[in-house]
């Protein structure tokens, strides 16, 4: 998602100018552009069918870009964005009508500044309690969804992975405590845009452990029982297997050397959502 630049003799982090793919369906191609526009094109002629601006706060010069592939989900096309490494980015995904490009819903991954009033979506009320009261809300809080989405047509659930919290430098004001929901998490969203469940892989992330890696859906046999699962080889070094209907943790084993935790507390499971714990 980022690269290091040494222009002017200082190291800075900048968003990579990449495109991770497109979606194709019924003679149309759907592709997100780096400048934040989502394009629907006629696959045969290349003619524009529609395009929509997916970025909020464009007039305020928010640090958003679009680098990930859009996701087909029933009659919707879902798109996220990048920007968690920069001040002012607040994570979200947007769902648009496949045929018209009309916005159907938008799901925010992290709370907004409580000084602005009540949270704009119900799941964020619980999230707000997990952020340090001294948090720098002007940093946007991060949690962007720059890749790693999947869709289960039987359950009608959209699965997303979220990036690190912001400000990126955890030594800056705020970011000294709390799980910081729903950054560094796997989230399931219903067809109406409401949260079904979440699983936070790295609470209080201080290491840039985005959970935006590919989410793989599969049917596997575990302990003699067929389970419908969602899997992710996360950036924190663990391979997670979750029940994709409930979010229940079924398995979590490290696939590389891990120093940020001594292990996963497999006994601490729930079906509504949870944060992983350092042991």
The set of catalytic residues is: 208
Give, in order, the Cα–Cα distances in Å from 205 to each of 126, 169, 185, 213: 18, 11, 10, 16
Q: Is omega for the bond preceding 81 within 30 degrees of 0, making it cis?
A: no
**Tokens at residue 114, please?**
């409580």
Q: Reduce the DSSP state of residue 73 to 3 states and report it.
A: strand
CB 184 within 8 A of CB 168: no
Residues β-bridged to residue 187: 160, 198
- 3-state SS, one letter per residue, for 166-177: CCCCCCCCCCCC
| CA-closest candidate to residue 174, choices 132, 229, 217, 126 | 132
Rounded to an integer, what distance in angstroms lies between the CA atom of residue 111 and that of residue 182? 9
**Rg of the chain over CA atoms, in angstroms?**
18
Residues β-bridged to residue 274: 199
What distance, in Å, lies between the first and last C-alpha atoms of the chain?
29
**Tokens at residue 62, please?**
């928010």
CB 201 within 8 A of CB 240: yes
């Amino acid at each position: 998602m980022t690269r290091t630049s040494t222009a002017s003799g200082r190291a800075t982090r900048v968003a990579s100018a990449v495109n991770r793919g497109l979606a194709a369906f019924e003679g149309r191609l759907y592709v997100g552009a780096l400048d934040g526009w989502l394009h629907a094109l006629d696959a045969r002629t290349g003619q524009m069918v529609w395009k929509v601006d997916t970025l909020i706060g464009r007039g305020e010069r928010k640090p958003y870009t679009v680098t990930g592939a859009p996701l087909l989900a029933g009659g919707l096309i879902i798109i996220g964005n990048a920007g968690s490494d920069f001040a002012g980015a607040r994570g979200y995904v947007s769902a648009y009508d496949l045929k018209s490009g009309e916005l159907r819903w938008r799901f925010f991954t992290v709370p907004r500044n409580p000084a602005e009033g009540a949270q704009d979506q119900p799941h964020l009320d619980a999230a707000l309690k997990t952020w340090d009261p001294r948090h720098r809300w002007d940093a946007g809080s991060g949690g962007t969804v720059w890749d790693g989405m999947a869709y289960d047509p039987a359950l009608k659930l959209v699965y997303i992975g979220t990036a690190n919290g912001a400000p990126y430098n955890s030594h800056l004001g705020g970011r000294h405590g709390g799980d910081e929901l729903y950054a560094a998490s796997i989230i399931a969203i219903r067809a109406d845009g409401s949260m079904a469940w979440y699983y936070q892989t790295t609470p209080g992330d201080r290491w840039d452990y985005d959970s935006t890696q590919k989410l793989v859906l599969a049917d596997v046999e575990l302990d003699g029982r067929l389970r419908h699962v969602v899997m992710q080889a996360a950036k924190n070094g663990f391979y997670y297997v979750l029940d994709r209907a409930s979010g229940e943790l079924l398995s979590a084993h490290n696939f590389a050397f891990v120093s940020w935790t001594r292990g996963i507390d497999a006994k601490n499971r729930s079906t509504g959502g949870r944060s992983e714990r350092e042991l």
